Structure 1
Amino acid sequence: MGTGTLEKSEAAEVDYRVAVTFRIRRFNPEVSAEATWQDFELRIDPKERVLDALHQIKWEIDGTLTFRRSCAHGICGSDAMRINGKNRLACKTLIKDIAEIKNGVGSKAIVVEPIKGMTVQKDLVVDMEPFFQAYRDVMPFLITTGNEPTRERRQSPEDRARFDDTTKCILCAACTSSCPVFWSDGQYFGPAAIVNAHRFIFDSRDEGGEERLEILNDRDGVWRCRTVFNCTDACPRGIEVTKAIQEVKQALITRRF
């Protein structure tokens, strides 16, 4: 073999990043009582998610940017926010799907703001306590009577399928904060609470259906729904929220569930 050096050709690294503007609604009660808008210019891979862009802004540009996130895989529901006017999970929203990219540049800013109908605490973080209180009020747990069983409570596949859709809720509040009735009256239980009541009302093993129905029969309960379908459109898990609400209404009328 020759002793000459072996020349290696290396392919030039391709930069797939594009220029995108993120317009974020900022609010810090320690600084001002008014919210403001702030633009951030990023170069980012369009296959990344909005959550990745928020991380880049916080870690590299402005460490004061405040938002919630946990699992980053669409399961915890903590990073629900309004993105381009629609409730979405930041961890599931791809930049390429919303940035309208032309010639390597996002033609329109990606607008990010907190979900509506809840008190903003800072930037994209809202007070979730009223939302979770409504959830607790519908008793989202199995209610049974009699002695503690010595074996699991069995259920047929057909009985399980009856409420399968509403077991998918991750309590992100995307549905509730997209509801016009909830915007105008925060006392309304909201779609998420009703969905989680539905999950147990139609569970064949549960014995608390009547009690939950009476809770939702309140003036701030299920009858406040105006069937706008915003909640169904906003659900990142694809739950037929409006259908579940209608089934609860029907159960209240017929007392069959």
Structure 2
Amino acid sequence: MTASTAEQTSSSGSKGSEPPVPEGAITVTVKIRRFNTEFDDEPRWDSFEIPALPSDRVLNLLHYVKWYLDGTLTFRRSCAHGICGSDAMRINGVNRLACKVLLKDLLSAGGKPTTITIEPIKGLPVHKDLLVDMEPFFEAFRAVQPYLINYSPEPTRERLQSAADRERFDDTTKCILCACCTTSCPVYWTDGSYFGPAAIVNAHRFIFDSRDEGAEERLDILSDKEGVWRCRTTFNCTDACPRGIQVTKAIQEVKRALLFKRV
């Protein structure tokens, strides 16, 4: 099933034939926050009892619900390998990628069955269930000019860069635009005009690129009242990043570049 399929095939509530329970499976209660803008006035919680192995991922549990228990469940996913960033959601209150979180890491002490809560990421409009509107997030991303800017004549060959210069921004090249960091930020929840951590991370990637000549333009953008100065350094973003990017550090480096006007 592709991401688009998961979004669009949500009209049928029919159940499929459940597969045999695998040996060693435990029964897990999964509580999912549901909301259908066409029919619901308020969100609700639906609970499902699912047989699962400790090695299963949370994404496997969602697939089980959709394929065998309730075909109307809607969520977004694509590669299912932690690369595309499509399946970001709040799992037990923490932003994570459903394809990277293993059931065994959510079990209570002694590996006993537990209740897993799954909600959409916060701060973005909910289309349905776990599917949010990512456009405000990508609008902020586009606003910081996340591409190479160079006004010099194009070289006949590639623009050379030393290993040390490349290492300067290596960490922020890892962003997969999952929005885990941005939607974990309390400032972003309460102020929708804040650029958010992911946009700043992607600006950082080019501000400190020795081949780029657009740093001043981006710094001017980020010095706006809704730019880096809105960050309150709570470290939520760093904790939420599934790629291990030092998001808070990158934001502080952009602040420092603005203060000292050098990059």
TM-score (norm 2): 0.90
Contact 2:22 2:53 in 1 (8 A): no
Tell me how large the CA RMSD over aligned residues is. Answer: 1.3
- In structure 1, the residue matched to 2:167 is 161
Unpaired segments of 5 or more residues in structure 1? Answer: 1-12
- Work out whether 1:252 is the aligned partner of 2:248: no
Moved more, 212-221 or 144-153: 144-153
Counterpart Cα distance in 2 of 1:159 and 1:235: 24
> What stretches of structure 1 move > 6 A for 4+ residues in a row?
none
Shift of 1:102: 4.9
Residue of structure 1 in register with 2:186 after alignment: 180
Matched residue, 1:192: 198
Query: For each residue in 1:80-136, what CA deviation from the matched residue of structure 2 results, as whole angstroms up to 9, or x when unmatched?
Result: 000000000000000110132757x51x31000000111111000111100000000
Residue of structure 2 equivalent to 1:22? 30
Residue 146 of structure 2 corresponds to 140
Q: How does 1:43-58 map to 2 (within 5 A)?
A: 43-58=51-66
Tell me how far apart the structure 2 counterparts of residues 91 and 143 of structure 1 sit (CA, whole Å).
35
Counterpart of 2:228, as a letter, is V
- Which runs of 5 or more structure 2 residues have no equivalent in the other structure? 1-20
Q: Closer, same or farther in 2 for the Cα pair 1:222/1:61, shift >3 Å? A: same
Other-structure match for 2:80: 72
One-letter amino acid matched to 1:38:
D
Q: Assess, with a 3 A threshold, how the Cα gap between structure 1 residues 191 and 17 changes in structure 2: closer, same or farther.
A: same
Checking the alignment, whether the CA contact within 8 Å between 1:20 and 1:99 is kept in structure 2 is no
Partner of 2:121: 115
TM score, norm. by length of structure 1: 0.92
- Alignment pair present for 1:202 and 2:204: no
Contact 2:35 2:43 in 1 (8 A): yes
Query: What is the CA-CA distance between 1:148 and the residue it aligns to?
Result: 2.1
> What corresponds to 1:40 in structure 2?
48
Q: Report how far residue 46 of structure 1 moved.
A: 1.2
Distance 1:149 1:162, change over 3 A: same
CA contact (8 A) 2:31 2:118 kept: yes
Deviation per residue, 1:201-233 (Å, 9 max, x gap):
000000000000000000100000000100000
Q: Choose the corresponding residue for 1:100, options 108, 115, 122.
A: 108
Report deviation, 1:147. Answer: 2.2
**Per-residue deviation, 1:29:** 1.2
The number of aligned residues is 243
Secondary structure of the residue that 2:145 maps to in structure 1?
A: coil
Q: Distance in 2 between matches of 1:19 and 1:100?
A: 13
- 1:3 maps to none
Alignment of 1:88 with 2:96, yes or no, is yes
Cα deviation for residue 14 of structure 1 reads 7.3
List per-residue Cα deviations over 1:37-90 (Å, max 9, x = no partner): 000000011101000110111011111000000000000001000000000000
Counterpart Cα distance in 2 of 1:19 and 1:118:
32
